[in-house]
Structure 1
């Protein structure tokens, strides 16, 4: 690491120690939230977020639904702030995810949810933010200042903030053990920076890229598509590998390249079959994830809920180096700023 490296890379490399800090410093509030949810089990959950934070919520949706059988919906903040709807959310678990905690539409939507009787949680980096002041429970990301426009460490810590709560509610000792070992796995993931850069080199002149995944990795694919737009100026879109045959596959006739996320969970076999069919038909597909034989194979974290963290970190290394291969500064994408205040 050198000081001349982009902030995006330097901040992503901080993640292993940040996960350790988050695990230690959030223990009390995680325990209190788990106890509250065990006592007043919500019938469903709602997430409120935008951008990278919303992609983290997609991963969280799969985590809560697969591990706790808790249905999760994404609430569009404009339903309340623009259309004036006062939603009935009594008894629901409402989770807002935000790096800054400053966006007025997210803050207003959470305020409405709490007034309607929801249990409200903020996963936020700025602990004295407007959002943090509106909720019952605050789970800090503990990232410190994130200066790069493209979020990295805040997204990754958003993926882990609620996992101790999930582990407690399910009594999942395997998940607790995986969380304890996760910093070590992420440190190993950082060792993939050179092969990630080498993989990125082949996309140096790409104008379009489709990103595929299923299940817990789909929110990582969404984040990957966003980062390719932000940092590399590539038109990228994320699709479920299960939905790709339902229309989007037509784009392959134009020679569009694919990046597919693999997994080591219940979606692994179905995803592998889809990727085999695509490569068998001549698609330009490279893969990233914990499945052995992936183009860029990430270290095993020993739990389906923690594997996406390593995959996302490996992708950030890929994206930052792809920007550099394209002679772009990933820290200064045109037309964008760090904090977007949507009303």
Structure 2
């Protein structure tokens, strides 16, 4: 069973700031272990999840899909766009809210704007969706909770069936949101006019979450095999436990972490850096090997610790970098996974999330208690805290 108390049973959402401070009470490791179940639920309920979007479009053409988000929601959108870039090109794009306002006057009238926030409370995303709606664009709220401020700001809602995450960092929600956005892009951009009365084949989850090989017409498009992905996640979480625990002990003393990834993980790099930053609470940077060698290597300090995330076969550059920095006396750590067809690197993400949780525990960090539990209230970066800012004006 996917954890998370239904909003209706809580008298609202946990993100309604019933607590005075942003402190969480869930277990991130429990949520990580639910990832494969969330993926199956997403596949089984994909048609229902997309129904509201179908009603919003009502047989009208969608030429562009614009995704707006912050944090892990933005990163999930980046991963979805990265996986679909060869199929849809510039037809699907992702922006931070401030960037979106710059391009809003340039959008064609048949653009669909989707605001993404797992808790549905991001102030910046909500205001961007409100701006788009006022400008006459169709707007969609993509959230993991019901009856959120973001839903109220949009024309329609796409609810990702991942359950609430009462923890200080998003885990299973990232995977669920990435897959949901891939499904949405297929539904609205596959040259299929959506009907309010029926949901055509383009709306079915197997068009993106497929049990088979991608079609010849779109052989360059990254699609996901649900069975392979679920099996890979489950095997990885159980089969690498000892390795991850040993690695977390070595990472615990790091003050400055440089993550170098294989190209197969490039779409997930922003989320990887975010997870290590927010859970381990150290300075973290991330690059591909090819990016790193062009100037960035000059920023390495005596405190730098390297973590090479190898997904598939290592390139010559990756191997040489590991050898170079080991010879220079730096701490060089590696974590490798076999690259699997039909998984687009998503099976690797729960393993890294688990590594972050265990490293934070080694460091004595409770990720459910932010460094400043009042941060969002003071800054006004969550919807519920906006009145605080406005009362001071």
Specify the TM-score bucket, using the shorter chain as the normaliser.
0.7 to 0.9
The answer to which of 275-284 and 154-163 deviates more is 275-284
1:244-280 Cα shifts (integer Å, max 9, x gaps): 123221133535222233445xxx7xx7233123123
2:250 paired with 1:202: yes
Match of 2:341 among 285, 293, 302: 302
2:322 is the alignment partner of 1:279: yes
Q: Alpha-carbon deviations, 1:295-317, whole Å to 9, x = none? A: xx25x5522xx332211111011
- Is the 2:49–2:160 Cα contact (8 Å) retained in structure 1? no
Deviation at 1:137, TM superposition (A): 4.7
- Cα 1:140–1:121 change in 2 (3 A) is same
Q: Match of 2:164, SS?
A: coil
Report the secondary structure of 2:213's partner residue: helix
Q: Which moved more, 1:124-133 or 1:12-21?
A: 124-133
TM-score relative to the length of structure 1 = 0.79
Q: Does 1:212 align with 2:255?
A: no
In structure 1, the residue matched to 2:293 is 245
1:311 paired to 2:311: no
Match of 2:225, SS state, is helix
After TM superposition, give the deviation of residue 337 of structure 1 in Å.
7.0
Q: Is the 8 A contact 1:30 1:162 kept in 2?
A: no
Give the match for residue 178 of structure 1: 225
Distance 1:214 1:97 in 2: 27
CA distance in 2, matches of 1:24, 1:38: 24
Contact (CA 8 Å) 2:83, 2:267: kept in 1 or not?
no
Aligned to 2:150: 131
The question of 1:231 aligning with 2:274 is answered no
User: CA 1:34–1:273 in structure 2 vs 1: closer, same or farther (change >3 Å)?
Assistant: farther
Shift of residue 209 of structure 1? 0.4
Q: Which residue of 2 aligns with 1:258?
A: 306
Change (3 A) 1:29 1:153: closer
Give CA-to-partner distance per residue, 1:161-204, whole Å, 9 cap, x none. 12334566395643676024422222112112332111222112
- Aligned-pair CA distance for 1:117: 4.5
Residue equivalent to 1:92: 111
Report the CA distance between 1:216 and its aligned residue. Answer: 6.0
Partner deviation per Cα, 1:46-88 (whole Å, 9 max, x = no partner)? 321111111112212212313322354443323578x9x8534
Question: 2:229 & 2:180 partners in 1: Cα distance?
Answer: 13
Q: Superposition RMSD on alpha carbons, in Å?
A: 3.3
Structure 1 residue aligned with 2:84: 64
Of 103, 113, 118, the residue aligned with 2:132 is 113
Counterpart contact for 1:212–1:239, Cα < 8 Å: yes
Which of 141, 149, 154 in structure 2 is aligned with 1:122? 141
Please give the alpha-carbon distance, in whole angstroms, between the structure 2 residues aligned to 1:117 and 1:285: 53
* Equivalent residue, structure 2, for 1:341: 382
User: Who is 1:102 aligned against?
Assistant: 121
User: How many residues end up aligned between the 2 structures?
Assistant: 321
Which is worse superposed, 248-257 or 121-130?
248-257
Larger Rg: 2
Query: SS in structure 2 opposite 1:174?
Result: coil
- The structure 1 segments of at least 4 consecutive aligned residues displaced by more than 4 Å after TM superposition are 31-39, 165-168, 170-173, 336-340
Preserved CA contact (<8 Å) 1:29 1:137 = no
Output aligned runs, 1:45-56, within 5 Å.
45-56=65-76
CA contact (8 A) 2:273 2:286 kept: yes
1: CA distance, partners of 2:287 / 2:88: 25
Cα deviation for residue 235 of structure 1 reads: 0.9
